[in-house]
Amino acid sequence: MGSGEVAHGHAGEAGTSIMMYLYPELVDTSKGIDEVPKQKDLFPEIIKYSRYSTKTESGVIGYSTTATSQKGEVLVQRSVDRIVHFLYDTWDIPHS
């Protein structure tokens, strides 16, 4: 799953997949765009703020056309499982 380094880009594959899973009625797949950033980010782990127009023409970073509801379901479930695991381990919440 995932389109490489831009899978989690703005309005890309991951986010669009999650929306397709949670709120399919809000997703118009006919408007899907695949666009990679204008410049490669050498430090993607550092949050930086700049105008999206410096990064992309459309506002999309990634491949929204490769998104699916099934990918969204997997991403949501993995995220929920990870949060629950964090709560059990960090807050000593007993498993039910």
Q: What is the DSSP letter of 38?
A: S
Q: Which of 16-30, 57-71, 81-95 has the lowest mean pLDDT?
A: 81-95
Residue type, position 12, single letter: G
Q: How confident is the model at residue 1 (pLDDT cuts 50, 70, 90)?
A: low
- Tell me: the pLDDT tens digits for 39-68? 887 887 787 788 878 888 888 888 999 999
Calculate mean pLDDT across residues 77-90. 91
Calculate mean pLDDT across residues 6-33. 89
**87 pLDDT exceeds 60?**
yes
Sign of torsion over alpha carbons 36, 45, 66, 29: negative
